[in-house]
Copies of this chain bind each other. A is one copy, B any other.
Amino acid sequence: MDIGFVGTGSMGAPMVRQLLESGHHVTVHNRTRAKAEALAKEGARVVATPAEAAEGAEMVITMVADDGAELAVCEGPDGILASGPGGLHCACTTLGVATARALAERHREAEQAYLSCPVFGRPEAAAAGRLWILAAGPAEAFQRARPALESMGQGVFELGDDPVAANALKLAGNFTLMAMIETLGEAFALGEAYGIEPQRVLEVVNTSLYGSHVMEAYGKLIAGGDFKDAGFAAHLGYKDARLAQAAAEAGPVPMPLLAVVREALAETVARGRGDWDWAALGGLARERAGNRS
């Protein structure tokens, strides 16, 4: 395929290399041109504007820093939207939903197809062609883009017609990472208050709790939304949350994330669900949003 690629930074450059290795023709643009030039030796053609990268290409991919940078490469006389009707734009940048929605609309007006295609993976994963790609937008556009997307990642999730869904899911995924980091930080701090090294806490938690697909098991329970058959009852979970907090009084160890789940378990019990499985905590989170599973 003839592919335009805008944004050849730490993520974009290895993505371009994957495309070249798969035999695609790639025309690249980067705001700081020197970064793009480095790819010329590897077979990419370098151009001066985003519009030039898009013109004549079967599709153009963007991978830039943030919402502002994405708008900058789309708008104006040199922008992708100015490259004429019929194009296809896959935005791999992590964008906010408002920006993604606005972009989808602007492309429609310009008679260009638009896909939101944010990715999971760090630069090392990009270099190894092991990104995961979340793609959403019109099915026909997705079919056109699929070969290029598959060249860049180990898997592509198709998420329906509304481009914004892919952005929301990317953000939801990053949220789970933040939550995990904070969780580990608090768990380590608690361990340290009892003389246990963080490495040891990590080893025990990772071996004991995460070896057996626990996230999948709990995820299915929460997704199913039926908590009445308790494996581990919510009132026991509430008790353990209180005991964890009592343990944290040595030090003391501030644990704000524990505080949140403790109060949510208290609410679960106060609402008369103490005998349900403690995964009901996850059900309450959905219920707060007005969802009834």
Q: Mark out the residues of chain A between 191 and 213 whose CB falls within 8 Å of any chain B CB in the assembled complex.
A: 191-210, 212
When distances are taken between beta carbons in the complex, the residues of chain B under 8 Å from A231 are: 122-123
* A224 smallest CB distance to B (angstroms): 8
Q: A12-20, A56-64, A90-98, A137-145: which lies at the B interface?
A: A90-98
Flag the segment in A34-42, A73-81, A105-113, A161-169 that touches B. Answer: A161-169
Name which of A1-9, A25-33, A259-267 contacts chain B. A259-267
So how many copies of this chain end up in the complex?
A: 4
Select the residue from A168, A203, A238, A288 with max chain B CB neighbours within 10 A. A288
Contacts A179-B179, A182-B285, A289-B270 given; indicate if A169 touches B260 (C-beta within 8 A): no
Q: Is the CB of A162 within 8 A of B291?
A: no
Residues of chain B lying within 8 A (CB to CB) of residue A232: 122
| Contact A286:B97 (CB < 8 A) given known A183-B180, A204-B169, A259-B260 | no
Find A210's partner among B195, B215, B290 (CB 8 Å cutoff).
B215
Tell me whether B244 and A157 are in contact (CB under 8 A).
no
Which chain B residues border A198 with CB–CB below 8 Å? 219, 222-223, 286, 293
Q: Which of B120, B157, B193, B241 contacts A175 (CB 8 A)?
A: B241
Q: Does A256 contact B (CB under 8 A)?
A: yes
Q: List 13 A-B contacts (CB under 8 A).
A: A123-B231, A173-B204, A174-B241, A175-B186, A178-B278, A179-B180, A179-B261, A181-B222, A185-B283, A188-B285, A198-B286, A255-B285, A271-B290
